[in-house]
Amino acid sequence: MTTPAPTLLSLATTINTLTQAIIIKLTMHNVPEPTFTSSTDHPLWQDPTLDLNTTKARLVDAATSLTRLVAGPLTFHREVFGSHFDLAALQVMLEHRVYDQIPLGGGCMTLSELGERVGLDPAKLARMLRLLATLNIAEEVEDGVFRHTAFSEVLVRDRELRAQVEMQYVSLPHFSLE
């Protein structure tokens, strides 16, 4: 006999049941629920005596399945198979300081002008910016004309975030524009 495919409601019910089981176990051991401000050594994450590994694994699986079911197959495959292209395009944008050239506050720039300023072929630049626009990290307001979104502008304005992002791509292989 086959098991019926999970539905939104069945997954949500499973998540609720497993979460309640974890909370009951934490309460029995006088352990408060973790929050995003909890210490990294919170017992839920570190204490094997709570014997919650199976319940936690099932909860993570159900939550992941629910997220995937809500997002759908197109989003899932784009995230899995396309994420390295997203990172490569973002790496090129930062390395060549493309976002620094686009005027802040709603100003626009053409691909030809942008390509000339940063020394990149406008056709290749267009492909990368259009890919990043699918993630809202740029906006093509008309054919070949781009402006910032909040997600690209923050990379220009916030030096700490920019440094963190740049540090991440230092460990990535260098992507060629050839």
Give me the residue spans of the domains in the chain. Answer: 8-71, 82-170
For residue 4, give Cα distances in angstroms to 1, 7, 23, 163.
Answer: 9, 9, 28, 48
> Are 22 and 44 within 8 A, CB to CB?
yes
**pLDDT at res. 107:** 93
- Residue 151: closest CA among 142, 162, 163: 162
Task: Extract the tokens encoding 159.
Answer: 């030096």
CATH 1.10.10.10, domain 82-170, yes or no: yes
- Residue 71: closest CA among 2, 138, 139, 11: 11
Quick one: three-class SS letters along the chain? CCCCCCCHHHHHHHHHHHHHHHHHHHHHCCCCCCCCCCCCCCHHHHCHHHCCHHHHHHHHHHHHHHHHHHHCHHHHHHHHHHHHHHHHHHHHHHHCCHHHHCCCCCCEEEHHHHHHHHCCCHHHHHHHHHHHHCCCCCEEEECCEEECCHHHHHHHHCHHHHHHHHHHHHCCCCCCCC
End-to-end CA distance of the chain, in Å?
A: 54
Q: What is the rounded distance in angstroms from the CA atom of residue 68 to the CA atom of residue 33?
A: 26
**pLDDT at res. 52:** 94
- Count of positions (residues) in the chain: 178
**pLDDT at res. 47:** 84
Segment-wise mean pLDDT, segments of 10 residues, the chain, 178 residues: 89 98 96 76 84 95 97 89 87 94 94 97 97 92 94 89 82 60
> Are 10 and 69 within 8 A, CB to CB?
no
